[in-house]
Chains A and B, each alone.
Chain A
Amino acid sequence: MMQQEITRRSALKRIFAAIAATGAGSFITFDDLLAADANPRKAINVLWLHGSSCTGCTCSLLDIEKVPVVDILTRFAHMVFHHDLSLATGDQVTETIDKLLESEEPFVLVVEGSIPVRMPHTCMVAHRTMDSWMQRILPKAQACIAAGTCAAFGGVTQMEGMDTGSMGLLQYSYYRGITTPIITLPGCPMKPEHFVYSVLHYSTHGAPPPLDRYGRPRRFFGRTVHDRCVKYADFQENYFSRKIGEDGCLLRLGCQGMVTRSDCMITGYNNNTNVCLRAGHPCIGCSGENFPRRVMFHTYDDTRDIIPRRV
């Protein structure tokens, strides 16, 4: 029995290596990863920091059912520091970070929220700006996971009218000339499955899953919400909902599904309990590059643009 188990695992590993070599890594499923790697010695160190954030992505992480949170903490990831889970407080936090950087232990950095650059003093940890922390930590990380829309694209912290000059991690690393690979997981909040899959993939294969040009895993962001929408047939038949509560495609009420990449219509939110469109609310594009827009909810006869001219 034991013999069989090991054979199966090593066989799976060989298959994954082949899949990864052919560039078809987005076919590796969640269950494949869980089966392939239950080895606690391979748990990667994770350092989770907050920039200008709201903690929504952390709350979302705790919702995961695919893998119990206890398993994540005790088997798959070694959470060196997390602002909302760690018992460490005050100086213990800065000591932990210093020790991690000095130890040369490999680690993956997770950033929730954006980094203000024009007004760096608007986000401080231990009397130092988040910008200065990031300049020190980001180059030393093996990889960086930008958790949520703020960390990926700026999100609400970069909406028109903001003074702070906040940047998502892609823009920030380019601006600071830091070349650490960045995995972006947009979504407001980030979906916990996206995060755990990326972490598992990293610990199993030592590399992120296949990414698109914005650093998003293709497996989750390869298609738009519209492509997989439950109301897609209504759209094709030009059957549009005129007001909330009616059947039909919600495009004329402001739906952003056409320009928003995510797997919302396949895996939904909250362990596929529901998702905005299934609840009858137009997509507000929360995982998109243009989020938030100045108008997110239209009346049927509203003449303002729904789909941005430049996408």
Chain B
Amino acid sequence: MSTKIVIDPVTRVEGHLRVETTMDGNRVQSARCSGDMFRGLEKALKGYDARTAQQITQRVCGVCPYAHAETAALALEDAMGIRPEPNGQLLRNLTVGTYQIKDFLLHFYTLCALDFIDITAVLGYEGRDAGLQQVRGWVQQELANNKVFPAAPFLPRYEADYCTDQAANISAIKGYLDAIPIMADFHKMVAIFGGKSPHPVAIEAGGVTTPPTLDRIAHFRTLLATCAPFVREQYTQDVIAVAQAFPGYFREGRGYGNMLSYPYLPDANGDNFFFAGGVTIDGEYRALELDKITEDHTYAYYYDNSSPLLRPLQTDTLRPLSSVDFQAQQSRSDGKYSWGRAPRYDGLPMEVGPAARIINTYKSGTNSELNALVNRFNRQLDITIDDYASVMGRHLSRAILANLTLNHMERQLEMLQPGKPAFSEHPVPRNARGVGITEATRGSLSHYIETDSRGLIRNYEMIVPTTWNMSPRDGSGNQGPVEQMLQNTVVADAANPMELARIVRSTDPCIGCSVH
């Protein structure tokens, strides 16, 4: 008999996510992922000044706003036919690189670590760290006092096979607490050149509006030096410890294995990307062809009087379902079930994200620093490059990317030329089209802009990392990548489906981004 497991809401992800699986015994037969929020920002942008796209699109997401700001600026620069000032390009790299490392820490510690690490291990803590002692005392008191919600927000939780290694548990809990001020410092570094964080204002088409003065560079360098050891040591070690405690998760949540990534972190002139773009399909790496991307809305809550296979900017008529039609779709077993649409590359569902960036760059052979680091971890953990498309592979990929990005930022910080401009103003283009692509924290991000005769936005479209990963089925019946990852997973206890939660969280879903 088939039963269902529903996780709704999935917490510790950005936004409103529902995961529903049909079970065959204790094995997942099929899965459906629903993005349960729609705002409609991209179509509302019509009639707005083209430069507002940067400020508004970054507000689809408060966790990775920088990426939307950068991509919107790239799209407008493409329409203008310009490149940013070299200083501006470097400042952008520093800002987005910083933000990305911060997001990796947030994802690992705040959102995911306590799925593997046993928070109650803190009760047995005997050391002298003030933060850990404070948490221990508080948990003891909470449990002793018969409160209605003892030790919230850390309890209740799914009861599952948590890590039993006391040293690893304590190290990661300490990391959880220590990561919070480190993340605040990373946000400060974003604010130095971005103005503020979240939602940095200064990334505009033409460069970055904040001039790289000596005092700003020095401030940035000081903070970078303070934060770097945490990433290189504590974070990297904690990821390795979790990977060693849960080696089975290098085989869980593998999905299709089709990987898509865009080129990311160029040099000052906008060339020679540090991370390669491309696709890996059936284990084979190929160059990126942007015009193979289509978007399907067969199972997404929109009226579809147009063809379900659309190229970016082909429609400006897609309307969200009314309440009545929404209810009607929900009552059908084969009805539409998500606000997210289904982007496809050459008709295939693709995984995007840290693992895709590692696998594609590794296979492209363009970054020897990356290949050396990956090889080192492969030997240490006894895995191969193909194991990166897995729950633990994704966590490991983030740690590798954080280390590499840090190295790269340290080099690029010294290339800034104080006193030279970082921004040049250009007229907003009329009747023009542009596309911007980059890698956000969660994977490949593209923005498409079209302007009218007054330089206002005629049409706008965003294809966001979680739109790829968390997509619903398409017209040909292909499941979305995360749905595929969930399939065949064995769930030990249907009341505590931790296996499913770990798979979903490993892709770092962001529903705010995916649906916008």
Contact = CB atoms under 8 A, between A and B. Distances in A.
B14 interface: yes
Contacts of A280: 202, 209-211
Nearest to A293: B52
Nearest to B114: A87
A300 B37 CA distance: 39
Contact of B63 (A45, A55, A121, A269): A55
B421 interface: yes
A56 B63 contact: yes
Contacts of A85: 12, 110, 153
Interface stretch (A219-227, A230-238, A270-278): A270-278
B264 interface: no
B44 interface: yes
B389 interface: no
Contact of A55 (B14, B201, B319, B422): B14
Contacts of A269: 191, 195-197
Contacts of B6: 90
A270 B44 contact: no
Interface string A51-70: 01111111110111100111
Contact of B153 (A73, A75, A166, A286): A73
A268 B45 CA distance: 29
Contacts of A132: none
Interface stretch (B179-187, B307-315, B408-416): B179-187
B104 interface: no
Interface residues of B, number: 94
A100 B166 CA distance: 33
A207 interface: no
Interface in A76-133: 78-90, 92-93, 96, 99-100, 103, 105, 119-127
A7 interface: no
Given A84-B111, A279-B193, A292-B56, A89 B7 contact: yes
A6 interface: no
Nearest to B61: A54
Nearest to B153: A86
Interface SS of chain A: loop
A134 to B, nearest CB: 14
A119 B512 contact: no
B144 to A, nearest CB: 13
Interface in B115-156: 119, 131, 134-135, 138, 141, 147-149, 152-156
B515 to A, nearest CB: 9
B158 interface: yes
Interface string A180-193: 00000000110000
A123 B37 contact: yes
B425 A244 contact: yes
Interface string A144-172: 00000000000111011111101000000
B39 interface: yes
A19 to B, nearest CB: 31
A294 interface: yes
B199 A189 contact: yes
A83 to B, nearest CB: 5
Given A50-B15, A244-B423, 5 more contacts: A54-B59, A85-B12, A164-B320, A245-B422, A279-B210
Contact of B60 (A54, A88, A162, A273): A54
A68 B65 CA distance: 25
Interface residues of A, number: 87
B405 to A, nearest CB: 19
Interface in A163-215: 163-164, 166, 188-189
- Kindly list the 3 A-B residue pairs having the minimum CB-CB distance in the complex, ordered from nearest: A56-B62, A161-B44, A269-B196
Interface in B1-26: 6-12, 14-16, 18
18 contacts: A56-B198, A65-B184, A70-B180, A74-B134, A83-B12, A90-B497, A100-B149, A124-B16, A125-B9, A127-B8, A160-B47, A162-B41, A164-B38, A188-B199, A278-B195, A279-B195, A295-B48, A299-B427
Among B41, B149, B187, B320, find the residue whose CB has the most chain A CB atoms closer than 10 A: B149
A240 interface: no
Interface of B: 6-12, 14-16, 18, 36-41, 43-49, 51-52, 55-56, 59-63, 65, 106, 110-111, 114, 119, 131, 134-135, 138, 141, 147-149, 152-158, 177, 180-181, 183-184, 187-188, 190-199, 201-202, 204, 209-211, 219, 319-323, 326-327, 339, 421-423, 425, 427, 497, 501, 512
Contacts, number: 289
Contacts of A271: 184, 188
B172 to A, nearest CB: 14
A146 B5 CA distance: 33
Contacts of B321: 121
Contacts of B110: 62, 84-85
A52 B44 CA distance: 15
B512 A54 contact: yes
A161 B180 CA distance: 37
A87 B111 CA distance: 9
B119 to A, nearest CB: 7
A42 interface: no
A76 B141 CA distance: 15
B12 A86 contact: yes
A90 B199 contact: no
Contact of A299 (B44, B187, B196, B425): B425
A243 interface: yes
B38 A122 contact: yes
- With most chain B CB atoms within 10 A of its CB, the pick from A64, A85, A286 is A85
B317 to A, nearest CB: 13
B52 A90 contact: no
